[in-house]
Structure 1
Amino acid sequence: MTAKQRVIRVSTEQPTYAVTVLGTEISIDVNGFIPRGATSFDVRGTSGLRVYVIYNPKLVTKPIGAVRWPLNSEVEVIVASNDPSSVVNDNKVRVSYYGPTGETLIANAWLYLTCMAISLDADTSRTGVVESTANNKTKWTWGPHGEGAILLVNCDRDGPSSGNLDNAYPSVRSYEDLQDMSLMILSTQGPAGVFDSHKLLLHISMFDAGKVRVFHVNGNTSLSSYEHVLGSDKLSYAVKRSDGKARHSFFVEGLAFPDADFAGLVSLNATLLEQPSQDLPATPVFTDTVVFRVAPWLMTPNTLKPVEMFVCSIVRGQNTNQKFLEAIKILAKEANCKLTICPEVENRGDRWIQDEMEFGYVEAPHKSFPVVFDSPRNRGLKEFPFKMILGPDFGYVTREPKNGRISSLDSFGNLDISPPVTVKGKEYPLGRILIGSSFPGSGTRRMAKVVRDFLYAQKVQSPVELYSDWLTVGHVDEFLTFVPAPDRKGFRLLLASPLACLKLFKEKQKEGYGGAALFEGLGRVGRITLDEILADEYLRSDSRYVQSCIDWNRNILKRELGLSERDIVDIPQLFTLEHSSATALFPDMVNMLVLGKRLGIPKPFGPIIHGRCCLEEEVCRLLEPLGLTCTFIDDFFSYHVLSGEVHCGTNVCREPFSFHWWNILP
């Protein structure tokens, strides 16, 4: 599709010479230098050109017979080339001026045109292949029929293992590094003589320059031949002239994820400049532009297949976790999931690996790789994500508050995501991020603004804020999780429920088991009978309060995730209030590990009835019909008494979605 490019003025006093670009049009100003006595004109072009006249039929009458157009501002001559020129000035346009009778030729004006083919191209069709036929490269559109190129933040480390992220260096460090970049091709075709008075410039705006880096392949394909040509300190690059048909390959890497101050769109431009003399500034003739969108960081829900699980080993001190580790090893083997154990020399006594990081990924049509998001909590595991997870095809990103102020809500046990949902007809095929926050009008703890801004800026997993500040630790994984299901929406939302727990205990009491007790056989922990629990007015009051907090979130989740009560399973759980905030009385069963259909659930040490824990029996009754296998893991002294559970002490990297994020209609 052609588009009007510029106006060229012609004169009867001397020929006019111009360069045009294939696929564009020029408008010839025939009224600028009208010879004396002329009242009409006609126009002819050589066979390589398309010449036609645009006019306003309300003001101008189209000539009949001999084509003589009136010299009128409502008449416009348009010229476009059919093919690139083979030599300079091989196309001609003649404008002939006539007197009042239309028979007397007064003068001719000549225009000599040279046509160049110039195209800046990327994978705007999102097929993984760069095509030179794209029409709309200057706009980026969403959806399955959308167009626009995609750029990955080159945040892995394919180079030396002791280095920084690949995009921290203004050089190509390995051939694998190139695979994380997006190919962009600048093609030219036409006579080399054009570049005696013209030059071709690749350039970027100062506002976009800090977000990308561009390398040009010069000469051979050795790593040293990849020249850094655009970036924060390089706003333009003069492409070296070449004879005839040329194809320049560029590789573009992202330096920054979308964020509060960056919408994610970047424009790269190729401009043909006319510079007939070194003493005069150059003027633009033609610009081709490609718009890239930087791929967002994407989270993965429990319903996606686990690839690798991470857990810490704690061997020193009173609360070692070796028994816990043995149970995790068995579960990982049964789930056919790779297990990586972070030794104490690396975790420095910090067992809360869920709080330290969140696994996600980035995706472009040509490449995808996992990316770990490192939380700003900065405790013993602070160095682990960067030192031990960042590597070839495994990226890293973090956000740190400038003032250094963080709270427990900045740990990533307070960050979760739903499976795909549809809400009032709007689809969220990549799920919705869940963030724990403070209740409206109360509390001061909130996730750090830089982290929240980052999550919101990714755009495709529209966050939902919940109320978690009522908890002592304050994490959403203390009262909710998602498990896969074979029916309905493909999952169930599990919510901790004090009322469901009290109801269960009352039923067991009526059956005559009021003397059955929590924490039987734990030794160091005093047993509490069902009769004592149900007679405790403070516990009942605490339970009503906690249930009201969970119900507040229940309503938000139903509204924002499009859920009904049939999509929710209430898991019996009691909490107690300490200094106006809640802590799980017994191991918090919703704080579980989900590995496909296998669940690693904190062993609750509930009342033993007929040789079986009634809490475990109830959870199995609720979840096993969904095809899930429940394994109860003893985390009491290794995690529970330290205010955490199985989910807090594990982390899982999962397969990416099969749905491509760019097909979303946000």
Structure 2
Amino acid sequence: MRTRNAVRALLALTATGAVLTPPAAYAEEPLRVDLRADTDRDGRVDLTGGTDTAGEDTWSVARGAVFLPNIDDDSKRCPTTGPGGRPLSDAKLAACNDASDTKVNGRADAADLARVRSVPMGGLPSDAKGSVTVTVGAAQTRVFLLRNGAWEPVTSSTRLTRAELRAGVEFGVEGKDVIRDSAKWDGRVAIRLKVTSASGTASDTVTLRAAPLLTHHARQNTQQLLVTKVSGNDPWAKRQREFVKRLARESRRAGITKPLVTFEKYGDIWAQDFVEPAYLNMTGPDGRQRTMRVMLRSAQDREAGRELYEKLRGPDVGVVQAKGRDMQGWETLNSYGNLETIPPYALGGRSYPAGRIIMGERKDGSGIRPSKEIRTLLKSQGLQDPLLLDTSWLHVGHVDEFVQFLPADTPRGWRIGVADPAGGLQLLRDAQRDGHGAKKMFSVPGFDELLPPEETIDEALASRHLVSDNETAAGKIAANLEILKRETGVTDEEIVRVPALYTRGIVGDSAETRVPLLRRLGGGTPEAARKYGQQKLAEDAAAAAPAPTVMTSAYVPGAVNGILLSRDRYLAPRQWGPVVGGKDIFTEAVTAAYTRAGLKVSYVDDWYTYHLGMGEIHCGTNTLRDASGLWWKP
């Protein structure tokens, strides 16, 4: 502040007509705006050093500020029913979340908001004022201003006072939705702070990007299992609930402390198919990882997906719905048994620090793929570019029917597990060679109206199609494996081959004529077989095939279609194979394959609950995994 004597001296000199240049200390400083975000992702916006200045106008996987699509429901305010308890439409269920209003919901510390701050501005003219504009991504984001200890939304009329600019201003940023189509919005938001006065105008801009929506991979530790539990007192319902009990027991034995999440409202037993657990995360303002689980609802019109909103949505849990309708008939490809994730890897200058998605398509000239909408959403995240494999030889068409990824104590950190039909045939041939051809092919007992299968090893090997279909399946798996080896660099030594067998059905027939396939596997009447298999049959490829096409499903329960419970424990479907010398030859071979891969194997029976419906325990369950790691680092 100027002293009184200095002011008197200035007035005296002015009266004599002298022209003075004001001392430098008294000159107004030029306007200089410095807006910063957490570009180094440590959770702190650095206002005094330079750690957050480099690259503030750009964004890459390795560097750049991140904000969360704020799609959870922290205060549990989103309704699941309408007036009179009537069900809400899917669109209304999806429309509500924390970003659908203009409030900061549920958390006093606003942990879901990414921070942007301005460096305090000294020497401001008395008429200085500021304004904030979102120059990119305004429709997809919301910016809040921390004022007087409370968060208020920034609007076109928001003005910052000279006092606020001098003290430094704090903003919070949230996304209204995940990135869905990068051609329309790539997730970036640019925020500009402009300061104006009579002496001029200055501004600064920072760029942030929405956290990518990522799927889980096998190197992330299992934290909780999801499964459907059906109601009813009929024998099948009781058996399915017994499966749930055994699953819970195996979960506890593997060291999983959280109880099962059970879907109980809609009766869809294929919990792998109507949801894909995913996640979003960033480093929060406190320096800790801020993680939000996201339940990615299947693009199919499956009513069970509504329970994701009704039961799971809440604090730190959101739901994303992507309903494409361009399937041309084979809707089963939109089930999430048809989505798995390769663990992180790098090859040939390309890096996938969060892993890479695989999905199945029909590579038979039909051009049928998973919905374009969901493929676009997954690719638009920019990290897990989906790789499409050929599943046209499978009845249900899901990648989980023949391939999996397993953690490993190797430099890569993981292996590929694949179904091995050639190995399965060899087990039968070896048993036949050793004089056991008259043994029953399956050791499963009967159940309710379903009689146990009666065919022998000799009959199976002599059947018209079994050998040729499994030789075809082996060729298809080998071709897919070559794609995976080429894309990831995995070697033959990193592949776990698990004995398996497949059996045919004819796509193009009606569901009624396909019932004998289930009947041959399970015995009993066509009515009983239809009862236990109808849910999966409703999904199959009949409507899509232009002509009869041979497709297969698991003959012996598919061991690769199991659950990785921990880094060293694997749960497989009980094999119920031929018993020779008091031992199930498939169980022995499957156990040996996983043991060589460093895994302890346990088994649970799913023959009548899932296997006869053309699925296994992986198809009937789902897994929540640890998502606290840094997705931008390998």
TM tier relative to shorter chain: 0.7 to 0.9
1:158 maps onto 2:74 in alignment: yes
1:212 maps onto 2:141 in alignment: yes
Counterpart CA distance in 1 for 2:107 and 2:249 is 39
Using the TM superposition, give the Cα deviation of residue 45 of structure 1 relative to its aligned residue in structure 2, in angstroms: 8.7
Q: Summarize deviations over 1:361-395 as a string: whole Å, max 9, x none.
A: 21112222322212122324121211211111123
SS class of match (2:476): helix
Counterpart CA distance in 2 for 1:486 and 1:595 is 16
The partner residue of 1:528 within 424, 443, 455 is 455
Using the TM superposition, give the Cα deviation of residue 443 of structure 1 relative to its aligned residue in structure 2, in angstroms: 2.9
1:301 to 1:135, Cα distance in 2 relative to 1, 3 A: closer
Q: Which has the higher strand share?
A: 1
> Does the aligned pair in 2 maintain the 1:436–1:468 contact within 8 Å?
yes
Return the letter of the residue paired with 2:343. Answer: P
User: Match of 1:273?
Assistant: 196
The partner residue of 2:113 within 181, 185, 201 is 181
Gaps of 5+ in 1: 1-43, 49-84, 92-112, 277-283
1:410 maps onto 2:331 in alignment: no
Using the TM superposition, give the Cα deviation of residue 212 of structure 1 relative to its aligned residue in structure 2, in angstroms: 0.8
1:259 maps onto 2:183 in alignment: no
Using the TM superposition, give the Cα deviation of residue 462 of structure 1 relative to its aligned residue in structure 2, in angstroms: 2.7
Using the TM superposition, give the Cα deviation of residue 323 of structure 1 relative to its aligned residue in structure 2, in angstroms: 2.4
> Does the aligned pair in 2 maintain the 1:140–1:149 contact within 8 Å?
no
The partner residue of 1:543 within 465, 470, 480 is 470
1:633 maps onto 2:562 in alignment: no
Q: Summarize deviations over 1:469-498 as a string: whole Å, max 9, x none.
A: 321111110111122223353322111122
Return the letter of the residue paired with 2:245. Answer: E
Gaps of 5+ in 2: 1-19, 80-95, 285-289, 507-549
User: Match of 1:620?
Assistant: 591
1:569 maps onto 2:488 in alignment: no
Counterpart mapping for 1:85-104 below 5 A: 90-91=26-27
Q: Summarize deviations over 1:449-479 as a string: whole Å, max 9, x none.
A: 1100111111122321111132111111011
1:431 maps onto 2:347 in alignment: no
1:500 to 1:403, Cα distance in 2 relative to 1, 3 A: closer
User: Match of 1:578?
Assistant: 505
1:618 to 1:244, Cα distance in 2 relative to 1, 3 A: closer
SS class of match (1:652): strand
Q: Summarize deviations over 1:165-186 as a string: whole Å, max 9, x none.
A: 1111111222257101111123
1:45 to 1:313, Cα distance in 2 relative to 1, 3 A: farther
The partner residue of 1:319 within 211, 221, 236 is 236
1:500 maps onto 2:470 in alignment: no
> Does the aligned pair in 1 maintain the 2:248–2:260 contact within 8 Å?
no
SS class of match (2:46): coil
SS class of match (1:256): coil
Counterpart CA distance in 2 for 1:327 and 1:386 is 27
1:130 maps onto 2:45 in alignment: yes
Using the TM superposition, give the Cα deviation of residue 501 of structure 1 relative to its aligned residue in structure 2, in angstroms: 0.7
> Does the aligned pair in 2 maintain the 1:376–1:399 contact within 8 Å?
yes
1:507 to 1:170, Cα distance in 2 relative to 1, 3 A: same
1:602 to 1:563, Cα distance in 2 relative to 1, 3 A: same
Counterpart CA distance in 1 for 2:58 and 2:191 is 13
The partner residue of 2:308 within 382, 385, 399 is 385
Counterpart CA distance in 2 for 1:322 and 1:166 is 35
Using the TM superposition, give the Cα deviation of residue 188 of structure 1 relative to its aligned residue in structure 2, in angstroms: 4.0
Q: Which has the higher contact order (CA 8 A, sep 6+)?
A: 2
The sequence identity of aligned pairs, in percent, is 29
Using the TM superposition, give the Cα deviation of residue 341 of structure 1 relative to its aligned residue in structure 2, in angstroms: 4.0
1:398 maps onto 2:321 in alignment: yes
SS class of match (2:417): strand
Return the letter of the residue paired with 2:118. Answer: L
The structure with the largest alpha-carbon Rg is: 1
1:331 to 1:484, Cα distance in 2 relative to 1, 3 A: same
1:514 to 1:183, Cα distance in 2 relative to 1, 3 A: same
Counterpart mapping for 1:144-543 below 5 A: 146=63, 148-163=64-79, 164-175=96-107, 178-191=110-123, 193-195=125-127, 198-205=128-135, 207-219=136-148, 221=149, 225-230=150-155, 234=156, 237-242=158-163, 245-260=166-181, 261-274=184-197, 285-316=201-232, 317=234, 319-320=236-237, 321-337=240-256, 338-344=258-264, 346=265, 348-366=266-284, 367-401=290-324, 407-424=331-348, 426-439=350-363, 441-487=364-410, 489-523=412-446, 524-543=451-470
Using the TM superposition, give the Cα deviation of residue 140 of structure 1 relative to its aligned residue in structure 2, in angstroms: 2.6
SS class of match (2:209): strand
SS class of match (1:179): coil
Residue range with higher mean Cα deviation, 471-480 or 443-452: 443-452
1:245 to 1:419, Cα distance in 2 relative to 1, 3 A: same
Using the TM superposition, give the Cα deviation of residue 533 of structure 1 relative to its aligned residue in structure 2, in angstroms: 1.5
Residue range with higher mean Cα deviation, 182-191 or 447-456: 182-191
Return the letter of the residue paired with 2:36. Answer: D
Counterpart CA distance in 1 for 2:273 and 2:109 is 30
1:140 maps onto 2:61 in alignment: no
SS class of match (1:566): helix
Counterpart CA distance in 2 for 1:483 and 1:302 is 6
User: Match of 1:591?
Assistant: 561
Using the TM superposition, give the Cα deviation of residue 46 of structure 1 relative to its aligned residue in structure 2, in angstroms: 7.4
Using the TM superposition, give the Cα deviation of residue 502 of structure 1 relative to its aligned residue in structure 2, in angstroms: 0.6
Using the TM superposition, give the Cα deviation of residue 564 of structure 1 relative to its aligned residue in structure 2, in angstroms: 1.1
Return the letter of the residue paired with 1:334. Answer: R
> Does the aligned pair in 2 maintain the 1:352–1:650 contact within 8 Å?
yes
> Does the aligned pair in 1 maintain the 2:137–2:187 contact within 8 Å?
no
User: Match of 1:32?
Assistant: none
Counterpart CA distance in 2 for 1:457 and 1:244 is 37
Return the letter of the residue paired with 1:607. Answer: P
Using the TM superposition, give the Cα deviation of residue 657 of structure 1 relative to its aligned residue in structure 2, in angstroms: 5.8
1:657 to 1:129, Cα distance in 2 relative to 1, 3 A: closer
Return the letter of the residue paired with 2:338. Answer: N
> Does the aligned pair in 2 maintain the 1:460–1:661 contact within 8 Å?
no
Return the letter of the residue paired with 1:335. Answer: A
Using the TM superposition, give the Cα deviation of residue 158 of structure 1 relative to its aligned residue in structure 2, in angstroms: 0.7
Counterpart CA distance in 2 for 1:510 and 1:140 is 67
Return the letter of the residue paired with 1:616. Answer: T
Return the letter of the residue paired with 1:242. Answer: A
Counterpart CA distance in 2 for 1:430 and 1:519 is 41
Q: Summarize deviations over 1:272-325 as a string: whole Å, max 9, x none.
A: 23568xxxxxxx722200100111012211232111111111233553202211
> Does the aligned pair in 1 maintain the 2:118–2:169 contact within 8 Å?
yes
**TM-score if structure 2 supplies the norm length?**
0.80
**TM-score if structure 1 supplies the norm length?**
0.76
Using the TM superposition, give the Cα deviation of residue 160 of structure 1 relative to its aligned residue in structure 2, in angstroms: 2.8
Counterpart CA distance in 2 for 1:141 and 1:244 is 26
Counterpart CA distance in 2 for 1:404 and 1:513 is 47
Counterpart CA distance in 1 for 2:354 and 2:147 is 40
Counterpart CA distance in 1 for 2:65 and 2:164 is 29
Counterpart CA distance in 2 for 1:302 and 1:469 is 25
Counterpart CA distance in 1 for 2:166 and 2:98 is 33
Using the TM superposition, give the Cα deviation of residue 137 of structure 1 relative to its aligned residue in structure 2, in angstroms: 4.9
Using the TM superposition, give the Cα deviation of residue 613 of structure 1 relative to its aligned residue in structure 2, in angstroms: 0.7
Q: Which has the higher helix share?
A: 2
SS class of match (1:270): strand
> Does the aligned pair in 2 maintain the 1:191–1:244 contact within 8 Å?
no
